[in-house]
Amino acid sequence: MLFRWIFRFLITILASGLLATLLVIFAALVTLPSLPSLDVLTDYRPKIPLRIYSADNLLIGEFGEERRDFVAIKEVPEFLKKAILAAEDDRFYQHYGVDYIGVLRAIYSNFTAGGTLQGASTITMQVARNFFLTREKTFTRKFSEALLAFKIEHSLEKDLILELYINQIYLGQRSYGFATAAQTYFGKKLPNINLAEAAMLAGLPKAPSRYNPIANLKRAKIRQQYVLRRMHALGYISNEQLAQAGKTAITLHRRVKVFAMPADYIAEMVRQVVYDRYKQEAYTRGIRVYTTIRKADQEAAYHALRKGVMEYDTRHGYRGPEAFLKLPENPGDHAALQDIMHSINNSDDLLAAVVLSATPNAVEAFLKNGETIRITGNGLKTANKYLSNDPKTAEKRIRAGALIRVKKTEKGDWQITQLPEIEAALVAIDPNDGAIRALVGGFDYNLNKFNHATQAWRQPGSSFKPFIYSAALEKGFTPATIINDAPLYLGPEQTGGKAWQPKNYDGKFSGPIRMRTALTRSKNLASVRILQAISPSYVQDYITRFGFDKKHHPAVLPMALGSGSVTPMQMAIGYATFANGGYRISPYFIERIEDEHGNTIESMRHTTIDPNSKQVIDPRNAFLMTNMMQDVVQRGTATRARALGRNDIAGKTGTTSNEFDAWFCGYQKNLVAVAWMGFDDPKSLGRKETGGRTALPIWMDYMSSALKPIPAEKLSLPKGIVVAKINPSTGLRDRFGTLNEYFFQEQLPPETDYSFEDFFFSDQMEDRAF
């Protein structure tokens, strides 16, 4: 009887097992046809982000959801492979995609717990899941994962499967693959990591957020020790290696500066171009773009702009805290304070800080990095008014909870500062081929992504005068032509709007002066009379030679004072024509585009100036304009630039009505730079905030660095230019003249006739002035 019962029980078990086997086989036959093709594995193309480089091959930008670097299996350190196997799948090289012992263990765990499947994933199964499946924990997904793992093992070699895993797996901090994670966490290339670091990386796949060493180093070390013990138990490392790795200090790499230089605006310009060409593939194909930007130029431009903006901001006083934050009940709770500060960004060296306590003599504040600082003495100087009991500043008084900005001085002390409200831009190009060498589109890209260098349409003010004067030279004027700098009234029919009575900036009039003097001293009345003489419509057509659009420059007399609209980039292109001897250049900022293998897929065409290039203005015109603008620097509105100690720079200041915009556009033979400053919502910069005071210092700081390796060059005399002595009062040639002047050969003025000298200096003199 007992035997019969045992026999029936065994038959039932066998039948059940056979039925289960048949069901599994049936399910596999149904599921197999629906499994995805392995083409994505056999032709593996990891999602590598778009990377942008400077002309010196330095990384300046990166765009893509996944931060990833591909590494071949032969380049992976052996101890890292062992660490991965120990942590994830020690029987990887023995099984065929599924570890049956692990599966049975997971099924038993699932049955007894009454929950979803846990564990049992081999490296091959993880590859199947990461490439093709979701992460949901269901029996159907797990079954498909196992079948797909068999398919992968049948099609690919073990080393290739491991290579796919090493490059595809997510390891936290936007890092995909072990090569990227090594850079992210340790600042090292993968072949350079040590055993301790390898074990820490190998512990990440289980739970990247939980074991992230940057977020929680203590927890990451616990996981690291587990991996090391597993490696030792499996015979992968010796007792000595285990002990040594356990004692090895982990130094985390905190990426303060992700890129080699601050070039966010130019990187975004490149991104837009590449996206227009390749759409979404731009962010996944591993495209590399090499720009014309040079590290030395870009860093000099960035620091010059920020320095100039901060100097302006300091002149106009402290405005009080940015905001007031609610402090935690326990001011000593650093974790809570960091949570409060989490969404507030630093701006380079201008650090966000929340005030913990404040008196007129000392301020204690907490920084985002967890540091508590104390500000005293001169560090409080700029904000004294907001630390006092002055009723005028009571609402914005610095007190506990105030959000302020602080900066370290050269001596290492802290001082209170603020984010500026004003904006600025600087662009520098090579006038010989149009290569953009530096571009800064604003004070801080993270605070204001609007690119003022290319997108800000502003009035150029007097910096536009050189194009008017260049047109006048074409119409027969000379640098010695006498212009009357006297009061002028213009009716609506002449201005295209309201009646207008232009004035010089200083409110004074100089009477009859030479055209050279008018430009050097930026005389408005003389400029308007020049435009009257040659006609606004002629100038409107003429300026298109320099790249300006007629529609932005109405043919009215206020054009003489820069009433139209330009961008800093347009001004740089226009001034480049003077710098290179009369040629129109097209700016460019991309040299070439490469694929992920380093093959050039696109090379940008650009034209270098040569004798066969087309000129848009007479080279003699460019010479005279450069020579006159050198006078602007040596004895005119830009004399501050003489501090550079060079006699080969030329340029023009620009200040619009009511000081809404400040400009300086200047150049040397091989480099043109334009600096602009103004408010996004146009308003006055303040009394006496002229181009010479506000924009010129930015230009000078940049040029002092950019021109340092370039020797000064003497302006060469083009064919067809002659030199003659003139009488500075009449502009006529004079054998007894006290000045030398340059002229087109065919436009030499007549010589002074001394037999009519008395007549010449009578009332007729006034009639000779334009």
**Cα–Cα distance for residue pair 436/569, rounded to 1 Å:** 10
641, 633 Cβ separation under 8 angstroms: yes
Residue 738: closest CA among 747, 728, 746, 748: 728
**Cα–Cα distance for residue pair 416/407, rounded to 1 Å:** 7
**Cα–Cα distance for residue pair 461/145, rounded to 1 Å:** 69
71, 169 Cβ separation under 8 angstroms: no
Sign (positive or negative) of CA dihedral 55, 59, 65, 66:
positive
Burial class (CB in 10 A: 0-12, 13-18, 19+), 509: middle
**Cα–Cα distance for residue pair 648/634, rounded to 1 Å:** 10
**204-209: long-range contacts at Cβ-Cβ below 8 A with a sequence spacing of 24 or more?**
204/171, 204/172, 205/84, 205/87, 205/88, 205/126, 205/169, 205/170, 205/171, 206/87, 206/88, 208/170, 208/171, 208/172, 209/172
Tell me how far CA of residue 377 lies from CA of 118, 358, 359, in angstroms: 62, 13, 12
- The radius of gyration of the chain from alpha carbons, rounded to an integer in Å, stands at 36
DSSP state of 392: G
Helix (H, G, I), strand (E, B) or coil at 33: helix
Q: Is 462 a catalytic residue?
A: yes
Residue 466: closest CA among 647, 661, 664: 664
* Strand duo 362-367 + 372-376: pairing: antiparallel
CB atoms within 10 A of CB 610: 8
Q: Is 766 a catalytic residue?
A: no
Q: Which of 88, 153, 594, 741 is catalytic?
A: 88
418, 319 Cβ separation under 8 angstroms: yes
Whose structure tokens read 């990095």?
Answer: 369
Q: What is the DSSP string of 284-344?
A: TB--EEEES--HHHHHHHHHHHHHHHHHHHHHT-----SEE-PPPSSTT-HHHHHHHHTTP
Q: Can you give the three-state secondary structure of 215-280, one letter per residue?
A: CCHHHHHHHHHHHHHHHHHCCCCCHHHHHHHHHCCCCCCCCCCCCCCCCHHHHHHHHHHHHHHHHH
Tell me how far CA of residue 660 lies from CA of 378, 443, 565, 655, in angstroms: 32, 18, 13, 8
Helix (H, G, I), strand (E, B) or coil at 757: helix
428, 411 Cβ separation under 8 angstroms: no
Q: In the numeric block, which tokens belong to residue 165?
A: 């895993």
Residue 366: closest CA among 330, 404, 415: 404
**Cα–Cα distance for residue pair 66/285, rounded to 1 Å:** 11
Whose structure tokens read 């660095």?
Answer: 705
Q: Which of 54, 121, 175, 462 is catalytic?
A: 462
**Cα–Cα distance for residue pair 118/107, rounded to 1 Å:** 8
633, 393 Cβ separation under 8 angstroms: no
Residue 151: closest CA among 36, 40, 22, 45: 36
Burial class (CB in 10 A: 0-12, 13-18, 19+), 331: middle
Q: In the numeric block, which tokens belong to residue 704?
A: 């002092």
Total residue count of the chain as it appears in this document = 770
Annotated active-site positions, please?
A: 88, 462
